[in-house]
Chain A
Amino acid sequence: MARVHFSAGLRELTGGQAEVDVEGSTVRRIVAELDEMFPGIGERLSEASSVAIDGEIFTDAELEPVEENAEVHFLDIFQGG
């Protein structure tokens, strides 16, 4: 199980829930799992393309492995200069 945290901006899609434990060995599987729990969140998460796994930020991390007990945060898109 990984623990997924939602920013306040995403909680409108989770019925206000701030975090949830999800089974899934990759980011893609976790997103699929979340989309079943909270229909529609999958599309939003694939738009918000950054994800932090145990503090390490990835862009487009669909196939990135997620370890047991990992802490996962989905982040708003930001652009560098």
Chain B
Amino acid sequence: MAITEENPGYKWVGTRPIRPDGLEKVTGKARFGADLALPGMLHGKVVRSPHAHAEIVSIDTSAAEAMPGVKAVITGADFPDLAANGAHAGDIDVATNTIARDKVLYEGHVVAAVAAITREQAEAAAKAVEITYEVLPHVLTVDEAMADGAPLLHDGMITKGVDPAPEDPSNIASKILHERGDLDQGFGEADSVVEREFTTKPVHQGYIEPHAAVADANSDGRANLWCSSQGHFQMRAYTATVLGVSPGNIKVTAAEIGGGFGGKTVIYLEPLAVRLSQRAGRPVKLVMDRDEVFRATGPTSGTRIKVKMGATKDGKMTAAEVWMAYEAGAYAGSPVGAAGMTAIACYDIPNFVVEGYDVVCNKPRVAAYRAPGAPMAAFAVESVVDELARNLEIDPIDIRLANAAVEGTQASYGPKFPRIGFVETLEAIKDHPNYSEELGPNQGRGVSAGFWFNAGMMSSATVHINENGTATVVTGSPDIGGSRQSMALMAAEELGIPYESIKPVVADTETVGFNDVTGGSRVTLATGAAVVDACRLVVEDLRSRAAKTWDVELDQVEWVEGQAQHIDGAQPPLSLGDLAKKSGRTGGPISANASLNSRGVGAGFSTQLCDVEVDPETGVTRVIRYLTAQDAGRAISPDYVEGQMQGGVVQGIGWALNEEYIHDTDGVMENPSFLDYRIPVASDLPMIDCSIVEVPNPAHPYGVRGVGEVGIVPPMAAVGNAINDAVDVRMTELPMSPIKVLEAITDQSD
């Protein structure tokens, strides 16, 4: 581990105890989304469009309603028409993506839903809903969607960000632009200029747990909802919006969540389950099958990206020109904005233009996926940087060091960087033995780097001291990868009591203050800061009770290792247990809340080193060695920091080599299963070596930056650059599947 600042002697932060929720998860007790059953509960089934683009001419539910066991059938007509109510465009999109009104925009778009006594009855009734469609021409890629005369998904879509605004609608929702300096001058100064065009396919987050929701609605308009999501407050807000009710009427309890990676920050089933439950007067459970998960949730954008970059012979980058178009799926909102801000953010380049387009097409609406937007742009840019380094005969780490963003660099997206750790990640790779490991025939080594902002946003926490001096730490951030542990470690450090004395809890929407989603790498940073704030309020209260007990001034009392101590030792110390036992006599229960809109977000950087072996006969690429170095700021929970780093890398390796959405010419997905959409398995991979870099974020009490996302940014170019090193072909299309690599090798030898 490369630690660039001294560890200030924490007792708990940075240790590796067993996670608080671990036992339930290795014994099968943990309750995930589909594990809840209520008395009298019905099973629901969703009816989905078989067409990529069609008008809904009519829906006849009478046959379905008459089937055995059927208790409710709903369609778009059972929901308020937000468009007619003048709602915000974003809310209308959420509502019509949840259940279509007049038109379906992708294969898998929800048209109706049923609830029946058994699963089999619900499935039979779903098939009996009669829908008449008028099929419309569709567009599947950015090229098709941006072509002149392309069929339009939304008649009123006028491209935003263009001056003057276009008169005619198109499938381009918006344009983004970042520019600085003078491109011509920059390219004129360059000794080498590389220009390449890249394409990437939509890929799915691939969480193993399908979406699931159980709703129990009461006749007074209130409802209880249990669901697996990255943010139950967000689910409450979306559900209330789609149903047209007050969020206060819906209580959402977070089930354990079986992976999300961004894909469970949005709603699909929840409003349908509530409405079915209202109609049936009984609890309703909706669970997607894997086929539905692929066809109708996620994915992230397919893209086309052009990159031109120039550098001088000593490796100084002089100019960058980036053009990109990102598929949004059926509704505006691809992550092209973040792509534009992150594409060249690792480097200090004086002249650049970054231009991007958010393009709708007849595929499922894209959802956030780990550093949304950044990985595809990084694939393109980091491949070109690799080629520049080769042309100029410069070491791939050295060319990045020569241009690396540091504290004070004016980031390509605007502001100056505060203290960041990009250089340290580059050095960690260069200093690692993997960097000089010898390579065999058909083996190659690739370097790539990535940047992600990380997020802050809103969090709340409550800390209760129990009567024996243990503590309950309550937050509203679903624990998706071990965050209960980081909450408990920070609370132990603050309160000065053992980690095992702290019980971290993820509470429902009525038991703790508002928390934004578990996303944006924000929970350890922001919810952690709320926990720290609440603990500090508790400690303040404890000191005050000790001062009163001793009849001294507050400033005579310090809190040291879980006990109140008199600064002169004039009184025997009072432990947390002592104070808790007598809390009734000293002012009542000991408890504190903290809520915040997080400050001091710390940017994350990752540099990665990939060794591959390519079989020139088959084009199969095998990753044989992998190293990732990432600036965590401070690793509160190193086990789970490494887990995030390794998991991000492996998702990236899947994106690089295997994963893609394949649609037929009718716009029907051809590979909606884990058999045909192949995510990496254990036998595909080597161990993933980790180097946690710690350049503390000066704005966080423990120096946390957030670690969840940036790890997925570099892998695709790291793999591609390694393939290039191995067999001298530059891959510009993802996935770099055997057939494409073989073609590239064959073309090159022709």
Contact = CB atoms under 8 A, between A and B. Distances in A.
A45 B453 CA distance: 19
A9 B335 contact: no
B456 interface: yes
A57 B341 contact: no
B462 to A, nearest CB: 22
B709 interface: yes
B455 A80 contact: yes
Interface in B330-385: 335, 337-338, 340-341, 353, 368-373
A60 B514 CA distance: 15
A78 B373 contact: yes
Interface in B231-250: none
B138 to A, nearest CB: 26
B417 to A, nearest CB: 6
Interface stretch (B56-64, B170-178, B280-288): B170-178
A48 to B, nearest CB: 9
Interface in B243-299: 261-263, 265
Given A9-B175, A81-B372, A57 B335 contact: no
B356 to A, nearest CB: 9
A25 B66 CA distance: 66
B415 A80 contact: no
Interface string B517-537: 101111000000000000000
Interface in A19-58: 52, 54-58
B341 A76 contact: yes
Nearest to A60: B597
B519 A57 contact: no
Contact of B337 (A59, A73, A74, A76): A76
Contacts of B369: 81
Contact of A12 (B163, B262, B265, B709): B163
Contact of B414 (A5, A79, A80, A81): A5
A81 B418 contact: no
Given A52-B415, A55-B417, A81-B709, A76 B601 contact: no
Interface in B141-178: 161-163, 175-178
A17 interface: no
B175 A57 contact: no
Interface in A58-81: 58-61, 71, 73-81
B178 A80 contact: no
Which 5 A-B residue pairs are closest in the complex by CB-CB distance?
A80-B520, A81-B262, A12-B163, A73-B414, A52-B415
B368 A9 contact: no
A24 to B, nearest CB: 17
A7 B161 CA distance: 11
B744 interface: no
B455 A75 contact: no
A9 B161 contact: yes
Given A79-B265, A81-B262, A81-B370, A8 B341 contact: no
B194 interface: no
Interface in B470-525: 517, 519-522
A80 B262 contact: yes
A80 B709 contact: yes
Given A5-B414, A81-B372, 4 more contacts: A56-B599, A61-B597, A78-B453, A80-B372
A8 B177 contact: yes
A76 B356 CA distance: 12
A8 B415 contact: no
Contacts of A81: 205, 261-263, 265, 368-372, 519-520, 708-709
Given A7-B177, A57-B453, A71-B415, A78 B600 contact: no
Interface in B551-605: 597-601
A55 B418 contact: yes
For the complex, would chain B's binding face be called helix, strand, loop or mixed by DSSP majority? loop
A76 B368 contact: no
Most B Cβ at <10 Å: residue of A52, A61, A71, A79: A79
A73 B416 CA distance: 10
B26 to A, nearest CB: 27
B456 A57 contact: yes
Given A7-B177, A79-B519, A59 B457 contact: yes
A71 B414 CA distance: 10
A77 B337 contact: yes
A11 to B, nearest CB: 8
Nearest to A80: B520
Interface string B447-458: 000000111110
Contacts of A61: 597
B179 interface: yes
Nearest to A76: B337
Please indicate which of the listed interface residues A8, A57, A77 has the most CB atoms of chain B within 10 Å of its own CB: A57
Contacts of A75: 341, 413-415
Contacts of B418: 55-56
Given A52-B414, A71-B415, A59 B597 contact: yes
B699 A56 contact: yes
Given A7-B177, A55-B415, A71-B416, A78 B601 contact: no
Contacts of A79: 262, 265, 335, 338, 368, 372, 519-520
Nearest to A78: B338
A67 to B, nearest CB: 14
A12 B699 contact: no
B455 A59 contact: yes
A74 B415 CA distance: 9
B518 to A, nearest CB: 9
Contacts of B597: 58-61
Nearest to B354: A8
Nearest to B521: A80
A42 B369 CA distance: 30
Contacts of A8: 177-179, 353
Contact of A80 (B161, B522, B699): B522
Nearest to A73: B414
Contacts of B162: 12
Interface in B594-639: 597-601
A40 B671 CA distance: 46
Contacts of B453: 57, 78, 80
6 contacts: A9-B161, A54-B415, A73-B414, A75-B413, A79-B368, A81-B372
